[in-house]
Amino acid sequence: MASPNDYLAAMVGSSAGMIAIVGGLLVSRFLSIDSTQQGLKAQIAEYQDLLDAADKRVEDLAGRLREIAIRDSLDDSDVLDLMIKSTSPPSPGQVRRLSGETSLSDDELTEEIEAVHSEVQAASTFLRSALPSSQSLDPDEWSDVPSWNVYYSETTSLPAIRNDWAWEYVFNKIVDTRTRQAYERPSGPFGFTGVAPISLATFTPAWVSQRAAERVDALEADHEAAVAAREDIERKYLQLYGSFIATVRPDKPFAWGVGVLVYFTVVGVIYPIWVLRGGVEVITPEVANVYWWFLSGLTALLGYVVVLAVRLIRRRHVVDTLVSTRASDNR
């Protein structure tokens, strides 16, 4: 007749075998989750780079549109003339009345007005002293005064320039004014005055304005497309991140499996081995408890397997229903 030791040893062996089977399934599941996480991490990193690039493109295009809006509002002859004459910057309302409406807010416009006004005043102060006076050159000699681009490239003493167009306007304004003054100065034995040539420095042909408007329209279209592309990338990025978070948090069946496995390991292996430590000759209440604990662990393990099987069957039924529905819809 077999002794209690044989029963306990068989119990430990069978428990270890079942634990190995279920543990192998759980380890396989864990490796699958880890592989999924690694793949999602790689995709998230890739989309993070794409999102950063999309952010930079949207920011660059928005900055270019903002620069155009600033120049449309402030690169206006009436506005710049007002800035040259006034020691204080004009208000946003004055600028809007002179150059028209703008997409810039009052705060943004005020900030740019102050910056451009300061630069116009600095340009006026520097160029008035640097350029020849109306008396220092004869009227015909004023035609030899270089253009702003040449003057800018040849003059090393110019201060830092932020808005080249503001300096160019002030430069042309001073040259035109002093040229006219030179021609209006009486000359010759009879004191006749000349007629100053018409300046085309601030004249903008219609085709130039049209091309500029077309470039702005194209830039706005690019900005809208960049924003839409960024939203698509961000949506995909958030989906991937949500999937990653879902894999980091173990699902309930996986957590249940780990719990059942730990419980069965304790009651089916560790506890019987502890009872067997000194050998068992007769069935004592402690040995009987081992059987009951073993049965509880076995029940928990089998119950876990049954629950998983039911879940898989239901999931398969749902998939089959969806496939059948789509197949009938496509007919």
CA pair distance 256, 229, nearest whole angstrom: 42
CA quadruple 173, 179, 184, 185: dihedral positive or negative? positive
Of 19-23, 149-153, 194-198, where does mean pLDDT reach its minimum? 194-198
Model confidence pLDDT, tens digit, residues 93-111: 999 998 888 888 888 889 9
Q: What is the pTM of this model?
A: 0.56
- For residue 5, the one-letter residue type is N
Segment 260-286, tens digit of pLDDT: 778 878 887 777 777 776 666 666 677
C-beta separation of 159 from 139 below 8 A: no
State pLDDT tens for residues 163-213. Answer: 888 999 999 988 888 888 777 765 544 444 555 555 545 555 555 556 766
Residue 113's identity, in one-letter code, is I
Q: Are 266 and 55 in contact (CB under 8 A)?
A: no
Mean pLDDT of 215-226: 87
* Mean pLDDT score across all residues of the chain: 78
The domains of the chain are located at 4-52+226-330, 75-203
Q: What's the pLDDT score for residue 319?
A: 42
**Are the beta carbons of 133 and 178 closer than 8 angstroms?**
yes
Which residues are CB-neighbours of 35 under 8 A, at least 6 positions away?
Answer: none
Distances from the Cα of 117 to the Cα of 71, 75, 95, 151, 314, angstroms: 13, 11, 12, 22, 74
